[in-house]
Every structure is written in structure tokens, then in C-alpha cells.
Structure 1
Amino acid sequence: MNITTTMRAATLSAPQTIRIDELALPEPGEGKVRLKIEGCGVCASNLGPWSGPEWLQYPGEPGGMGHEGWGVIEAVGEGVDGFAPGDRVAALSYNSYATHDIADADKVVKLPPELADQPFPGEPLGCAFNIFRRADIQAGQTVAIVGIGFLGALLTRLATDAGARVIAISRRDFSLEVAREFGAAETIPMTDHTKIIETVKELTGGKFCERVIEAVGKQWPLDLAGELTAERGKLIIAGYHQDGPRQVNMWLWNWRGIDVINAHERDPQVYMDGIREAVDAVASGRLDPSPLYTHRYKLDELAQALDATRDRPMGFLKAIIEP
């Protein structure tokens, strides 16, 4: 029997440069588990460090940036109850661009047999459920979703299933087709600012949308999202705004009396609640994210995966790293 004593991890060694390190296999401390990673989703939040900002120190931590991992528990530390080697889990851990990672036992969720052999990047799936909860979407509402990538497509499905009418707005024809497949009632190309506003105004009888979810993370989509929000509606910021300060049309926001919700969760236990909801939804067949995992890469191809996440080639929605 071969006993593994080392692991491999991708390290951001310099701007837009990944190296693969071989390291000693860590032992889980008290209250922790060691995972053998099956896969890790690539998050748009990685693009800031990948670009090489002046404030970031290099090299980064081995496996760093990877926080969408899932895999099999290989070892448990002292004081861990309810988990055992062999359990397949999704984890909220932070060094999963690697063959192995250490996670707190209370940041791990078991994956049931119904999900066997399926990819399960728990963090972004849970994020979608937490955004949906905070958006307070109700049956009969009109919901505009600005930006249809992995997150926007999931939210389209959740909002449609809740009985809302979804207007999906995206710059790519491919993404609009995905939105239709995930239940969008209307799709609008994200090309001309004024034309989009006029189209949504016409579709809503001049009232605009009770809920608008901005899922891009850029200035123009944020501006557009505010314009599409109805009086006393809710504007939900789900896009990851990482490239500097934003300006907002406070006159418009104030005049319409809209509620602005920053849907980026920072409470780890709320994150975990979202992951558990996602596990239940996918295991029951209520949600099928599998068509959204469009690109797969090996660990030593992480640089290509990050470039694809930035450049979004034709047909791209979500990259997964499979060590």
C-alpha cells in the first residue's frame, strides 16, 4: 500500500505567474479535517491578485485563492465529531488550489450519495442561495438580473422557481441563451444603455423592476441596475467590485426610495447555511448547475483557467480545477 506523505499546491509566485510546489502533507489539528481535493471552482475574486496589484506581496500561500473546494476527508483531528475519513464533502476553506487542504470541521458539509461524482463548488452555490434570500424575491415580481454568468444563471433559476418574472441582461448571446434555459422570461442584449432602460420600461408598463440584481462588478452595470429599479424596489449588489471606488447616482436612489443591499456575506455560519441549502436543492433535483461548469483544467493549468475567467471566451461560464 502506497502511503502519501506529500501534496502539490499551486502558488501565485508573481503577477500572472503560477508555480506548482511539492510540500509535506499537513496533519489536521484539533477541530480540523484534511481533505483530498477532487476539485475547486475558480472565482472572479481571484482576478485582482492575478493581475498583480501593488499592495499584494508575492509569493502567496500555497493553494491560496482557492476557496471553492470539495473532496473526500482523508484524516480528522482531535475533537472532531460527525465526520470520518471517506466522507465526501464541500468545504469553506481557503487553500484549495491543491491536492489537499485543511478545513475547520464546522466549515464542512457532507455531500449525499445523490451527488456522487458530481462537481460541487459549495461556496459559490451557497453564495447564490444567500443572495437570493437577501433579495427577498416574491411571486409575481419582476426581477432584472444584470450579468448572466454562473451566479446570474443560478439566480435566474431560483427567482423563476419562486414565481418571479425574470428579465436577463447580458452582453453575450451565449449567456442570454443560458438565461432562457434557466427560466428567464425576457432577455436583453447588454449593448446600449438607453435602449435597455426603454425596453425594460416598456416590459414593465413604466414601473421598472421590484428587484434588480447586479452580478457583473463594473461601474456601467451598476449604473444600469439603479436605473432599472422601481420606486421602493430593492437593488442587490452581487457583482464583485474589486477595481476601485464606485460612483453612484444617489439622487436617483434617493428619489425612488430604493433599498440597496450588499449581498456579499461575511458571516461564515451564514455561508454554511447557504451551502447546506444548495446541497439539498441539487440533491433533490430542484436545481441542476451541471451545465454551468463549462471549462475544466488540471492544477498545473491554473494560469489558463484564470485567464479564461478574465477573458470569458465563447461558451465560458465557470472554470473548475481538478487536481
Structure 2
Amino acid sequence: MKAAVLAAPETFELADVPLPQPSAGEARIRLEGCGVCASNVEPWQGQPWSTFPGEAGGLGHEGWGIVDAVGDGVTAVAAGDRVATLSGRSFAQYDLAAADRLVKLPSALDGQPFPGEPLGCAFNIFRRADVKPGQWVAIIGIGFLGAVLTKLATDAGARVIAISRRQESLDLATHYGAAATIPMHDHWQIIEQVKALTGEDLCARVIEAVGKQWPLDLATELVGFGGKLVVAGYHQDGPRQVNMQTWNWKGIDVVNAHERDPEVQMQGLREAVDAVATGRFDPAPLYTHRYGLNDLGEALAATRDKPQGFVKALIEFA
């Protein structure tokens, strides 16, 4: 099969590698596509601890496709089933996954791309955020994740304040139901605008969905007394500092919403499949850029640089 191999910083090579064979409890998926995650960018660029070459198909963890072979003891899925997968080598034509890390896609999703991992991640973050009707919820960073969370929080009866750098991102938040939008340009001006919207109470929930220091600092300022600061951004470029005095004084709960429990990850994925299949959530406006496997480097560069109109890149296989 063909698989992308990270051969050096910002250098993918397309390699011919052996077709993987499923062991007991595993299924092999002929991939239709795989989403490109913002968390891929820094490993692609190279980190101090990076080694090269990477594993075939590595970094790809948002795959979907058709089961084409199963190992011994697998009964939950069969060849021909279309599935979303939680696996880690999906920048390739085929990947292996434990059968209990697959969710069947219903016929309502036929013909639609379904990068299940990031959708499931958003649903798990939302559950951890514990959003209540009538609350003010600030979401900092309206990319793929922030947009999904805007819709979920709005549907739960909350009033979402979307904060992001680009006007098109704020427009996307409005499309998904945001009650107010604020450009992410001036730290103190943002705080004053949120105070004005909330009658000085600030927000019962603040979801930081960027993964950088300033958005985390801003989230600390925007959460109200007794509220929750939900860390949804993936912070992987070094240590962070936090204002513990403010956290203490406000008596807030701080929730790291990245789930590592496989059962919880699967719960979010199942919820996402149901929401999209039943029409409660339409992710189509988020899939803005599509590439072939040969163009994976270009897709990563777009994920980093965010050209006009960019939200999320998908790698699709012929």
C-alpha cells in the first residue's frame, strides 16, 4: 500500500509498504479519508525530541473508511462495513484498529466524509464543560473545534460569546448560533466587552480552544466567580504559566477536557455519529480544503497558515 512517511521536518515521502494484516481483535480499514489535525503541525515541523523517519501513516488519527478484513474473534464489524476509526496511522491507504475502536456509520452518512475523532473530541469536551441553559459561555478560538462547541452550547440554551482573530471565523460562529462575537485583538478590550455583555458577571463557562499562552490568560480573566475554565486547546509547545491568584480568588474549576479513557473517547464518537446522522449537527461547512495523500505537506502548511476560508483539511483517497 501507499503510506505517507515523515522523513524530515516538513518533508513527507510517499512510500510503498506492506499491507498490514489484522491480528486477533483487529480490523483492517481501507481508508476513504483522514482529517488533518492542528496537533499534527508541530510534530510535522519537528520538535527537539523528534526522530526521523516516522512510522508509515503516522500522525493520521482522524480516519474513516470500509472494513476489508478482520482478525480472529471479531464479530462487531465485518468486511464491507463503513466505519469511523480511532487509530493512529491513517495517512495511508489502509490502517489497522482494534474492533472496539470502530463505530459503524449509518446509511444516512453515505457519501459524506466523517473524521470521527475530532467530532467525538468536541462532544466529550462539551460534556465535561457542563453547560447549562441561560449561561454565558465564552469560546476562545473558532476553528473546527470551537465551531462545533458553539453549536452544541447554543443548542443547550447557552449564550455563546465567540472570540477569534479572523472575521470569517466569527461569521462561522454566528452561523452556528453564537449570540455575540468579539475580534481577538486587544486583551483588555475583550474583557470590557464581555463585562458589558454579561452585566459585569463575566462567563459561567469559558472554553479555551487555541492551545497557546495568551488565550489561556484571557480565559482566566473571562471566567466568572465559581465558573469553569475548560482547557480544550492542545498545549504541546512548552510549559504554561497560570495566574493562580486569580484562579484561587474566583474559586473556579479548571477542567482539562482531553480524554484518554478509551470508553469515554468512544462515547463521544458515538454521540457525534448520532448527531450528524440525525441532522442535529451539520459539519459540512467545516470541511473547507481537500487534498490527496501526495499533497499532505500542503495540507499541513494550510493547517498552520490558515489561508482565506480555511477551517479544516481532509486527505481523501481515490
Partner residue in 2 for 1:114: 108
Say which SS state the counterpart of residue 254 (structure 2) adopts: strand
Moved over 6 A (4+): none
Are residue 203 (structure 1) and residue 188 (structure 2) matched?
A: no
Identity, % of aligned positions: 67
Deviations 1:76-112, CA, capped at 9 Å, x for gaps: 1110012111100000010000110001000000000
Partner residue in 2 for 1:232: 226
Deviations 1:292-319, CA, capped at 9 Å, x for gaps: 0000000010000001111111111000
Partner residue in 1 for 2:186: 192
What is the distance in 1 between the residues matched to 2:76 and 2:45? 40
Deviations 1:170-203, CA, capped at 9 Å, x for gaps: 0000000000000000000000000000000010
Deviations 1:274-295, CA, capped at 9 Å, x for gaps: 0000000000000001110000
Q: 1:208-219 maps to which residues of 2 (within 5 A)? A: 208-219=202-213
Q: Once structures 1 and 2 are overlaid, which stretch shifts more, 84-93 or 49-58? A: 49-58
Are residue 82 (structure 1) and residue 87 (structure 2) matched?
A: no
Say which SS state the counterpart of residue 17 (structure 2) adopts: strand
AA aligned to 1:98 is: A
Q: CA RMSD in A?
A: 0.6
1:279 to 273, 289, 306: 273
Partner residue in 2 for 1:4: none
Are residue 179 (structure 1) and residue 179 (structure 2) matched?
A: no
Say which SS state the counterpart of residue 286 (structure 1) adopts: coil
AA aligned to 2:51 is: Q
AA aligned to 1:86 is: G
Could you list the runs of 5+ residues in structure 2 that have no partner in the other structure?
Answer: none
Say which SS state the counterpart of residue 91 (structure 2) adopts: coil
Are residue 61 (structure 1) and residue 58 (structure 2) matched?
A: no
Deviations 1:219-253, CA, capped at 9 Å, x for gaps: 11110011000000000000011110001111111
Could you list the runs of 5+ residues in structure 1 that have no partner in the other structure?
Answer: 1-6
2:264 to 256, 262, 270: 270
Structure 2 length-normalised TM: 0.99
1:253 to 247, 250, 265: 247
